[in-house]
Every structure is written in structure tokens, then in C-alpha cells.
Structure 1
Amino acid sequence: MAQIKIFNQTKLTERPFFQDLIDHLDTHEDVTLRKLKVVFSDVKNLERQIEDFVQAGFIRRAEKRYTNAFQTFEDGDFDLTLPALEPKRLVYDAPFFVRNGSKLMTKLATSQVQQVLKNDTNGIKLHISSDFQRSDDSLANYFYHVDKRVKLTPLEEEVFELIGDSDPNYVLKYMTTFLLKFAKKDTVKNKKPDIFVRTLLKYGYIREVAPDLFATTFALADKKIATQKLDTAQDFIAQQIRQTKKVENFLTFE
């Protein structure tokens, strides 16, 4: 297992050598380029890749020695005993790094995030809760896993057989058009469910209450969950680990 967990990956941090390099620098001192060439003798374009990491600010080079240029957050950096906060959508996009195996990592991984799916055709928004690691089976996580080429769960494999890697905006256009019908009715008839309705069924977002008759499991609500953008990883993590309240899925209409 990697010693350092990377969140908000970029194309640069997703390179396999980046993970190997930062783990090595995490446990070794007085690391020179010559030493790195010995340890990573099978890595292609090693010098060029290291230079990319240096220029991006992830690796520090000083007096021909290399070290990680970022903070790896650990248990001692936060108060892990603080109570839960009211649910918010916290936004922080830059990469950050957490010690694997730490209590902090566990608390962060199991914290809750509120995902919002919307499209360009109508004002329907799907609000879906998930754990921070995106391990829950949700439509938002499906789109993310397909886009990032993350290994799909068994349910996601079934969904992929239906909608594949279709553009999320295209998929949501048809899904929300169907869900819009529940704004006026508790149940909706559909004799021949298409791939979009069948996908909603697989995720349990709708259920068949009688032959060809469906109800949605989404609550129709006018509530809003505030969005807050954080400027630093420290501030983001401090608030995210306190997002432990799961919000039931709901729909909003605008």
C-alpha cells in the first residue's frame, strides 16, 4: 500500500512514478539524482519526469537533493474529536496528501459528500450523498469512475452495459425528463423502460410498485445545501472530516 494517499489527482500526480517517488522521498534523506537513478533504474524518462514534478511544485530540489515539497497531513494536524457540522458541499480542487493508515485517513474516507447532478435541458438537480472515497454505488460516482477509468463495481459494470461512457449531460437529459413526471404524480406508467429508466431502477432511484408502474425514491424538496469553497487543504480537511451526517437523496426543481 502506498504510504501517502493523493486526493484531487491531476494527470501529473496520476503517473505511477509520481506515487513511487513521493513514497521513497517520504522515508529517505539525502536523496540525489544519482541515487534515484539506481532505485528507479527501470523508469523511462526519469530526469524529465522529475523535472515536471519540480516545476509543478510537488518536489523540491535544493543543493542537488530532492524532497517532497508538500505537507502530508497526519493525525496530529487536526482535532479528530470535534462534533459533526451541518451538511455542506465543500469545494477544494487542488491536490492534497494524507498519511495512509492514519485515523485521519479513515475519518476522511468515511466522511460524507453531497453530489449534485444537473443538465442543460431543464432545472432538475439530483442531490446524492456518498462517502468521500466515492466507494458508494451512485450515478455521480459512476460518471466519475468511467471518466477517471477507475475499476467499476459489479453494479457499475451492469450500468455500463446500458449507458456505457455516454456524456453525463446527455444521460441526465433523458433521466430528468422522466423524473420530472413525478413532480405532479406519485406514480408514473412506463410499459417499455428505456436504458435510462432501467439505469434509474438499478440504482434504486425509482422502484416498480406494480407492473409498468413506477415511483421515485427521491424526496421532492425545495431545501438547499450550502456550498463553501475553501482556499487551503488544511481548512478543507478540517471541515470535511466533520461532514458525517448522511443526507437522503432528493430532487430539486428550478
Structure 2
Amino acid sequence: MHYFYSGEMPELLKNSNFEKLTDFLQEQPTVTLRQLKTVFPEKNFERFLDQMIQLGFVRREDRRYSLDFPIYEEKIPSVEILGLQEERLETADIVRVCYEVIETLKQRTYFFALTDKQRLPMYFEAGNQIRFYSVLYQRNSCALPVYFTNNREGRTEKNPLELQQLIGDVNEEYFFDQVEVILERSNKQRKIRESIFLKALLETQILQEETKQVMVPVISSEKESFGLELDSIPTFRLFCLLDYLMNKLGQESLTFLIKDEKEEKSH
């Protein structure tokens, strides 16, 4: 299964028994503790199970155990999500809509799973005054927001080796401070000195090799309206909408930058 969650990754998700238990409880929705212990004979399993209950992943009722979070098997068609004809979105800035969907999701608390039969894109964010967003299907993608999210969550093994060797565990705030300087110089067509920060931008195809110009979409942080009432759309449907937008773009991954217009004006 694939897990989608808001905020920091739940600590229990790192436990080797997490997926094993959720897979087991999906196949056998209501089981007793005795049945669980035959499958999970580990000494600390009951403590792990209690933590799963406390965090709302597992429900205990009438001495039986079952999963307590949604598991989806099928995506929702785009027309049902949008409540409008698909052609109306053709004229919209799809990257901007992706951003506004992400901003809506960031205001929510959620945890759900998707079966292996389907896939949905995930989103990642990193940066400072200039924020980097990536929307993609594979977490081991060569994208800076994914890299720094993996670092925050202690999942560096998912980082591409070339980025891990180049960036390592450099402080995230310091890294993007240096990146911001590079992007400012790129925008003004000034010479940029060699550094690991420049190499990282080239490696992740944020900058073009020869010209050092930005290759990905850059949009402002000011919201626009496309007639989509995103606040009223349930969380799972918003992820289905991201999937629809990625299909419209015909891409497996999308990285874009958000410039804070207020910060720009203050300078």
C-alpha cells in the first residue's frame, strides 16, 4: 500500500511491523489479540499495537481489532471531482492549480492509504523565501523538495546517490539561502561561481547547464481563481485532482518555484 499523510511522517510508519500489520488487518478486518500474536510473536508487539490504537491507526472494539483509517482502491474520475466540464480547465494555468490544490491540502490533517492497484501523486515542499514544490509518483525522484523531506524524516536511503554524495546532510535553511543567491544572479544574468549549490540546481534540472537560466515554472504566491471551490472538495478527491492535472501535463513529475510577492515588494 501507499500511505498519504499530513505533517511529519508518523514515527510508527518507520516500524517494520506497520505495513505487515496493516496488510494483515486489511485481509482479515476483525481479529482477536490471540490471532494477532500468532502472526506477530515479537516481545514488544502489544506495546506497538497499543501505540497504533492511541494514534488512531487501529480500532479495538469488543476485543477485536481492525484498521481505523481509509484505504482506497479506485481513483475518482476528474469530472466528478471538478463538478464541471474538463474543457474549462484547458485554459487554466495547470501549474497554478496544482499549487492551489497543495495549499488547500496543507491546511488539513489526514492519513489514508491507497492499494497497490492504483497510484496517486505525492507533493513535497522545501525552501525559504523562494519555495520549491514537487509533485510526483516516485519518492526516490531526483528533486530537491523530495531530498530534503527524506532528510527531515530520516529516510535518506530513498535519496538518489548522486544527490546524497553532492549535498549530504547540509543544513536545509543554509542550503536554500545559497540557492536564493544563485537564482537572483541567474535572473540578473550575472556570473555564478561553481559550488555544490549550483551543481545541485543543475543536477535536478532547475537551471539549464549552458545558460544557467531557470528551466522550471516560477509563479507568484498570490492566489488566483479558476472557479474551483477547493475547500469543499474532500482530501482524497484533491489527490485525484492532482493526478488528473499531472495527466493533463503528460508528466510523471513536476517541480515549480513559488516567489513570495510580498517579500519581493519589501526589497
**Class of the TM-score when normalised by the shorter of the 2 chains:** 0.7 to 0.9
Amino acid at match of 1:172: F
Amino acid at match of 1:152: K
Amino acid at match of 1:7: F
CA-to-aligned-CA distance 1:33-64 (integer Å, 9 cap, x gap): 111111122x2311111111112222111222
**Contact 2:125 2:146 (8 Å CA) reproduced:** no
- Does the alignment pair 1:95 with 2:136? no
Structure-2 residue corresponding to 1:151 = 157
Q: CA separation in 1, counterparts of 2:133 and 2:170?
A: 20
Change (3 A) 1:207 1:188: farther
Q: CA separation in 2, counterparts of 1:23 and 1:220?
A: 41
**Contact 2:72 2:114 (8 Å CA) reproduced:** yes
Q: CA separation in 2, counterparts of 1:195 and 1:222?
A: 27
1 or 2, which has the higher strand percentage? 1
**Contact 2:205 2:215 (8 Å CA) reproduced:** yes
1:188 equivalent among 187, 190, 195: 190
Structure-1 residue corresponding to 2:58 = 59
Question: How many equivalent residue pairs?
Answer: 227
Provide structure 1 residue ranges, at least 5 long, that are not aligned to the other structure.
none
Percent of aligned positions with the same letter in both sequences?
24
Deviation at 1:171, TM superposition (A): 0.3
**Contact 1:219 1:249 (8 Å CA) reproduced:** yes
Provide structure 2 residue ranges, at least 5 long, that are not aligned to the other structure.
80-85
Q: CA separation in 1, counterparts of 2:196 and 2:70?
A: 45
Change (3 A) 1:70 1:118: closer
Change (3 A) 1:118 1:225: farther
Structure-2 residue corresponding to 1:50 = 49
Amino acid at match of 1:57: G
Query: Which of structures 1 and 2 has the bigger CA Rg?
Result: 1
1 or 2, which has the higher helix percentage? 2
Structure-1 residue corresponding to 2:82 = none
Q: CA RMSD in A?
A: 3.2
Change (3 A) 1:214 1:13: closer
TM-score for the superposition, normalised by structure 1: 0.75
Amino acid at match of 2:215: T
CA-to-aligned-CA distance 1:181-210 (integer Å, 9 cap, x gap): 233x2x3323x401111111211222343x
The alignment partner of 1:146 has SS state of helix
**Contact 1:207 1:216 (8 Å CA) reproduced:** yes
**Contact 2:143 2:255 (8 Å CA) reproduced:** no
Q: CA separation in 1, counterparts of 2:231 and 2:20?
A: 28
Change (3 A) 1:208 1:36: closer
Q: CA separation in 2, counterparts of 1:70 and 1:250?
A: 33
Amino acid at match of 1:170: Y
Change (3 A) 1:100 1:220: closer
Q: CA separation in 2, counterparts of 1:178 and 1:128?
A: 18
The alignment partner of 2:114 has SS state of strand
1:138 equivalent among 143, 165, 174: 143
CA-to-aligned-CA distance 1:119-151 (integer Å, 9 cap, x gap): 2xxx3x144442154454211111112333153
The alignment partner of 2:170 has SS state of coil
**Contact 2:218 2:257 (8 Å CA) reproduced:** yes
Structure-1 residue corresponding to 2:2 = 5
Change (3 A) 1:206 1:6: closer
Structure-2 residue corresponding to 1:164 = 168
Deviation at 1:248, TM superposition (A): 6.6
